[in-house]
Amino acid sequence: MSLKSFLNLPCCVLLLLVLVLCFGDYIPLTGKSNLYALSLLLKDFIICILPGLIFSLVWSGILHLRDESMKVVLILVPLVCISNFLGMWMSYICTAPILDSGILTISELVQDNALSPAWQIPIPRFMSNDMALMFGFIFGIAGNFVKTPILYIISQKLLKITNFILKKVICSSLPLFILGFIIKMQHEDSLMIVIKDYSKLLIIVGILAYGYMFAVMHFLLCGRKIRNTIEKFKNLIPGIMIGFFGMSSVAAIPSTIAGAKKNSENPDLVGFVIPAAGNMHLLGDCFALPIIGLAIMVSFGYGLPDIYHYFIFTMYGVLAKFAAAGIPGGSAIIFAPLFENCFEFSAPMLTAVTAIYILFDPVATSANVFGHGMFALLFEKVHGLLKRS
């Protein structure tokens, strides 16, 4: 798949979406199940090899930073925490008045036509993303202290292999990877369910998440130039599309890196930041999960939390982000104990949060991917300011 074809991925996805919506009902159930199973296999393959890619990108990225490596790491973690914290508070500030007005409630979710994969081939994971990230940090920082030329040679060879896998293997399989998930959504009428029964809440999540990130990009990162903002967003669209249809921000990391590098003046820095922060900086979830949780509280007759209790929730939420998994429904699983302990959610409420979040996952995950690209620009700007000071 050429670079030109890769950048046309949104057109390819749109074509697949139209074809499936028009002719999906004519595909036999066995065919749908097999295509969905193939998409799951590709997703599991990407997730399996991703720790190695993350290690390579982070290691080589830190080695390129040389004497600045410790400064970059010390900037990254606080900036991730601040960004997640602000996102969760923005969702509360903007949503609480709407929910207090009583115009938005959540009804019971009923869905009984789920599509199951025809087969599954388990692919074992030899290392978690967190471990790969940690080893990438350790090897990179240690390499800058040891300063042995052989480490740079090895890292460059490993980086070439990583880039080959990203461009020639993963990028070439993306249309097939996305097709199975589009078929699943068409079969289960997920899009129509969201549009018909939960459209108000979905619109709030989408507008707040994307509006917040567009505002940050426009006013802070693009010099208040609308053309520059739109151009940078267009470069991120391939990754956003993968996040929407694949519902995995982890699987979208390769495409996000490619788009963010086009937006950056320091591609090596971006190549390090996105895989390093990709699993813990999830801005879409910072909007989707609190908004869904608050709406559930109102629907079940609970009062909205006051500022103190929501502050406690956000502090735990920021920490929970470091354990989040970029897979469908992963963040809802991580946040379930927080809703239970901080807001006393019952079992039916937790079930409703998880079910609705999974329906909203395409929008939330695509916003997560947008957030990755935006965060890379933000990190580059903060790094540049501190470097000049």
> Which pLDDT belongs to residue 100?
81
Percentage of residues of the chain with pLDDT beyond 70: 85
Report the predicted TM-score, pTM, of the whole model to 2 decimal places: 0.72
**C-alpha 213: how far from its chain's center?**
13
pLDDT for 313? 93
Q: Among 235-244, 254-263, 329-338, name the one with the lowest average pLDDT.
A: 329-338
Number of compact structural domains in the chain = 1
Evaluate whether residue 93 is within a structural domain.
yes
Indicate whether 20 pLDDT > 50. Answer: yes
Q: Which residue has the higher pLDDT, 334 or 224?
A: 224
Burial class (CB in 10 A: 0-12, 13-18, 19+), 167: middle
Q: Which of 130-134, 195-199, 227-231, 253-257 has the highest mean pLDDT?
A: 227-231
CB 41 within 8 A of CB 122: no
CATH number where 260 lies:
1.10.3860.10
257-290 CB burial, b ≥16 within 10 A, e <16: bbbbbebbebbbbbbbbbbbbbbbbbbbbbbbbb
In a domain, 176, yes or no: no
Considering the domain boundaries, does residue 300 fall inside one? yes
- Convert the pLDDT of each residue in 36-74 to its tens digit: 899 889 888 877 887 888 788 778 777 766 666 677 778
pLDDT value at position 371?
94
- Give pLDDT tens digits for 360-374: 888 888 999 999 999
Which positions ≥6 away from 229 have C-beta within 8 Å? 214, 217, 218, 222
Residue 212 has pLDDT above 90, yes or no: yes
The model's confidence at residue 194, banded by pLDDT at 50, 70 and 90, is low
Distance, CA of 314 to CA of 275 (rounded, Å): 24
- Indicate the range of 24-33, 83-92, 129-138, 213-222 predicted with least confidence: 129-138
In a domain, 116, yes or no: no
- Assess contact for 57 and 257: CB atoms under 8 A: yes
Give the burial class of 224: count Cβ atoms within 10 A of its Cβ; 0-12 exposed, 13-18 middle, 19 or more buried: exposed
3-state helix, strand, coil in the chain (%, to 5): 80, 0, 20
In percent, how much of the chain has pLDDT > 90?
A: 22
Domain membership flag for residue 209: yes
Assess whether pLDDT exceeds 60 at residue 151: yes
Q: Is position 306 within any domain?
A: yes
> Residue 351 belongs to what domain range?
3-30+76-111+189-388
Burial classification of residue 3, based on how many CB atoms lie within 10 Å of its CB (0-12 exposed, 13-18 middle, 19 or more buried): exposed
Mean predicted lDDT score pLDDT of the chain? 81
Whether 215 maps to a domain, the answer reads yes
Task: Establish if 46 belongs to a structural domain.
Answer: no
